[in-house]
Chain A
Amino acid sequence: MTNLSRDGIAWRIARDLHEGNYVNLGVGIPVLVSNYLDPDQEIFLHSENGILGVGPKPEKDQLDLDLISAGKGFCTLALGASLFDQQISFTMMRGGHLTHAILGALEVAENGDFANWKVPGEAVPGVGGAMDLAIGSPNIYVAMTHVSNKGKPKIVHRCSAPLTARSCVKRIYSDIAVMDLTPQGLILKEYMPGFDPIKVQSMTQVKLLVSEHCHEMLVPPIASNGVKLYQS
């Protein structure tokens, strides 16, 4: 059995983003997606502090103290980028103008509820723009491990952690599977080599429907940047 690494999940998500998409990448696995986008496609990355068109990290001699991304790290601007204030930024997020938001999660429920903002054991709660993104973007994709590090399913009937938003998750990319959340239910579309729908079901609290097109996931073991896409 082979599980995807965090970079592997990011690589797989990047295959589903295409030219003309406007995408917000959350902290954690989602932000890694930017390393695996097809450079031949023009995809705009949004940063909630006021950038549409985030570029790669700057070289040391190109640092601009006034130019940071939502993770508070220095960034550059991509071709066609724009800069704006918080009002316009949240108009894009809450107003449904971004095509995709990729977010991490602690749990996803079968009705599309999800929890990601209040991490158990963290001393001070912080929500940032997560709730605004979740209710605004038409395509909320969640990136997370399939089960917790204690082996507990994270795709559940009902979230036990405090909710970020209700009924909004459309797709889940885990380290073993790709699943769509639809009005019909949770549909398994892809699984990693060595797994099968029965094994994925055994790690999922919610009943899985198997798509007629369901197949093994096609992810290479190593990305073109040399990073391992499988857990070792």
Chain B
Amino acid sequence: MIDKEVDSCDRAVEGVFEGASIMLGGFGNAGMPGQLIDALRRKGVKNLTIISNGAGTGPFALGALFAEGLASKLIASYPAPTAAGFRDRYLKGEVELELVPQGSLVERIRCGGNGLGGFYTPTGAGTELAQGKETRSMNGREYVLELALRADFVFLKAHLGDRFGNLSYRGTMRNFNMVMASAGDVVIAEVDQLVPAGRIKPDDVHTPGIFVDQVIEIARLPKLLELPKEGS
């Protein structure tokens, strides 16, 4: 019987080694694997490369990881000015930043998970984010070569998960989680609720279990989702 369930975040991150690269899903706090990030901070391995849209939204989770000096590089599109943990280390020169336009970050990860080497995009052409990158003119437009991106570990966050590793999201949780699921050697998902096999209907599986190695249920607050009614 396949069973990808793991009983704690600390156990799930046991294999993370010094110098590892780690992709983190999430945009803002939605779909952000905060408990896995906390477990990684407790483990305390250093010199990590973090691949994430941002650098955290406060002094917890990813912000705390940077504050404690565990990461030496961030590949991101938008480290917000409020991400103080990252900012302070960056300004001291203790962490390197590779800034990537958000759509190019997504596509680099997609290529990484799809066995592709990279892609040409018009995004960033003629700007300082294209400096040092190969460019090519096609049909009269300039394109920038962006290379595939993979990671040693991927941390995801979903709403529902099952023992097969199938995941289902809600609201704006999907964001980077779906594309990152395919782009790592070890893929770990924290879920609001672990449900019996078959409970997530095949139509509602957003990330098929083939991409996921470990699933952990975490405790969290109840949520509401009110869809507007016609005419309201």
Interface residues of A (CB under 8 A from B): 47-51, 55, 58, 62-70, 72, 76-79, 81, 83-87, 90, 93-94, 113, 122-132, 135, 162-166
B19 close to chain A: CB less than 8 A = no
Known: A90-B106, A126-B54, A127-B102. 12 other contacts (CB 8 A): A49-B30, A50-B27, A65-B29, A66-B223, A68-B28, A76-B226, A85-B177, A94-B122, A127-B101, A128-B77, A163-B126, A165-B123
CA distance A185 to B77 in the complex (A): 33
Question: A165 with B127: in contact, given A49-B172, A66-B159, A83-B171 (CB under 8 Å)?
Answer: yes
B29 nearest CB across to chain A (Å): 7
> What are the residues of chain B within 8 A of A85 when measuring CB–CB?
174-179, 206
Listed by A's residue number, 12 A-B pairs whose Cβ atoms lie within 8 Å are A62-B224, A68-B28, A72-B28, A83-B172, A86-B179, A87-B107, A124-B81, A126-B99, A128-B77, A129-B102, A131-B129, A163-B127
Q: Total A-B residue pairs with C-beta atoms closer than 8 Å?
A: 160
A122 nearest CB across to chain B (Å): 6
B73 close to chain A: CB less than 8 A = no
Binding-face segment, B1-9, B10-18, B42-50, B86-94: B86-94
Residue of A nearest to B181 (CB): A85
> What are the residues of chain A within 8 A of B91 when measuring CB–CB?
123-124
CA distance A128 to B83 in the complex (A): 14
* A131 and B127 contact, CB distance less than 8 A: yes
> What are the residues of chain A within 8 A of B60 when measuring CB–CB?
none
The main secondary structure of chain B at its interface with chain A is loop
* A122 and B81 contact, CB distance less than 8 A: yes
Question: A55 with B159: in contact, given A65-B30, A72-B57 (CB under 8 Å)?
Answer: no
Top-7 shortest CB links A-B: A66-B171, A132-B103, A90-B103, A67-B171, A85-B174, A72-B28, A128-B78
* A50 and B99 contact, CB distance less than 8 A: no
B188 nearest CB across to chain A (Å): 18
Interface centre among A64, A76, A93 (most CB of B within 10 A): A64
A86 nearest CB across to chain B (Å): 4
CA distance A62 to B228 in the complex (A): 11
* A94 and B228 contact, CB distance less than 8 A: no
Question: A67 with B103: in contact, given A62-B226, A84-B174 (CB under 8 Å)?
Answer: no
* A77 and B31 contact, CB distance less than 8 A: no
B222 nearest CB across to chain A (Å): 9
* B175 and A86 contact, CB distance less than 8 A: yes
B79 close to chain A: CB less than 8 A = yes
Which residues of chain B from 195 to 225 have any CB-CB distance to chain A below 8 Å in the complex? Answer: 206, 221, 223-225
* B81 and A67 contact, CB distance less than 8 A: no
* B126 and A166 contact, CB distance less than 8 A: yes
B134 close to chain A: CB less than 8 A = no
B27 nearest CB across to chain A (Å): 4
Residue of B nearest to A115 (CB): B127
